[in-house]
Chains A and B, each alone.
Chain A
Amino acid sequence: MKLDLILRVTTKVIIPFILLFALYVHFHGDFGPGGGFQAGVIAAGMLILYAIIFGVEAAQRVVPRAVVHVMVPLGVLIYAMTGLAAFYFGENFLNYAPLAHDPKHGHHLGVILVESGVITTVAGTMVSIFYAFLERGR
C-alpha cells in the first residue's frame, strides 16, 4: 500500500543500525553503560519494529517461532555452562579466572560469555512474548 511507503523505507534504512547498536551495547557494556539485558531488549525491539511495519508473517520468515523458542532456554544454558566450565578447572561455580591463561583475560571472557547468555534469553523471551500476543489476538 502506498500510504506506508515512508514508514517502510525508513524502517529498512534504520533496522541495520538498530542491530549494530544492540551489538555495540552488548560488547561495549564492559566500558560504558549497557550490557546483555539492554542489548537483548534493543535487538528484540528491532524485530518488533520490523513486524509492526512489514507484518508478522514477514518477521517470522526472518526469525521463525521455533528459533525464538529455542533461544529462551539456550541463554540460560550458556550462562550455566560458563559457570560449570570453572568446575572443569577445579574452581568454584562462576569463577572465570581459569578460562584463559591470564586471570584478567579469563574474567573478561567470562563476563562476555555470561552477557551473551543474558542477551540470548532476553531477546528470545521478548520476541516470543510478542509473537504469543499476536497469535492469540488473531
Chain B
Amino acid sequence: MFVVATIAVALALALAVTRAILGPTVFDRVLAGNVVGTLAILLLAVIGFLSGRPEWLDIGLTYGLLNLIGTLAVLKYFRHGDLAHDAEKDGSRE
C-alpha cells in the first residue's frame, strides 16, 4: 500500500520540480517550491512507514516551518525590494 503512495508522491515531486524548472514567472517557481516542500514532507512520512520506522517525523515539522520562512522571505523581498521593510511605518505606499 505504501509502495503505491511512495510512487505517487515521487511522481508528483517530479512534476512539481518540472514546473519549477519550466515556470515562466518567478511566482510559478515559488509556488512549485512550496509544493516541493509539502511533497518532501509527505515523501519522508511515507518512506518512514514503508521501511517500518516512522519515528523521524520531527524532520517533517522542520521542513514545514522553514519552507514557510523561505517562501515568505522571497515574497516579501519581491513585494518591497527589501527584506526588512516595515509595512506599518509607511502606510502611504499602498
Of B7-15, B17-25, B27-35, B68-76, the stretch lying at the interface with chain A is: B68-76
Inside 8 A of B58's CB, which chain A residues have their CB?
24-25, 28, 32-34
Q: Which of A3, A38, A55 contacts B84 (CB 8 A)?
A: A55
Q: How many A-B pairs with Cβ below 8 Å? A: 66
Check A49 against B72 for contact (C-beta < 8 Å).
Answer: yes
Instruction: Please give the distance in Å from B60's CB to the nearest CB on chain A.
Output: 11
B64-92 residues with Cβ-Cβ distance < 8 A to A are: 65-66, 68-69, 72-73, 76, 82-89, 91
Q: Interface code B45-64, partner A: CB below 8 Å = 1, 0 otherwise?
A: 00000000001101101100
Interface of A, helix, strand, loop or mixed by DSSP: helix
Inside 8 A of B69's CB, which chain A residues have their CB?
45, 48-49, 52
Is A67 among interface residues, defined by CB-CB distance under 8 A?
no
Is A42 among interface residues, defined by CB-CB distance under 8 A?
yes
Check A58 against B86 for contact (C-beta < 8 Å).
Answer: yes
Classify chain A: how many residues form its interface, as a range: 20 to 34
Check B65 against A51 for contact (C-beta < 8 Å).
Answer: no
Check B65 against A53 for contact (C-beta < 8 Å).
Answer: no
Q: Which of A3, A28, A57 contacts B87 (CB 8 A)?
A: A3
Is A134 among interface residues, defined by CB-CB distance under 8 A?
yes
**Distance A121 CA – B36 CA, assembled complex (angstroms):** 31
**Nearest neighbor of A51 in chain B, beta-carbon distance:** B84
**Distance A18 CA – B68 CA, assembled complex (angstroms):** 11
**Nearest neighbor of A3 in chain B, beta-carbon distance:** B87
Sample (28) of A-B pairs whose CB atoms are under 8 Å apart: A1-B88, A14-B68, A18-B65, A21-B61, A21-B62, A21-B65, A24-B58, A32-B55, A32-B56, A32-B58, A33-B56, A33-B58, A33-B59, A42-B62, A45-B66, A48-B69, A48-B73, A49-B68, A49-B69, A51-B83, A51-B84, A55-B88, A57-B84, A133-B83, A134-B83, A134-B84, A137-B82, A137-B84
Binding site for B on A (CB under 8 A): 1, 3-4, 7, 14, 18, 21, 24-25, 28, 32-34, 38, 42, 45, 48-49, 51-58, 133-134, 137
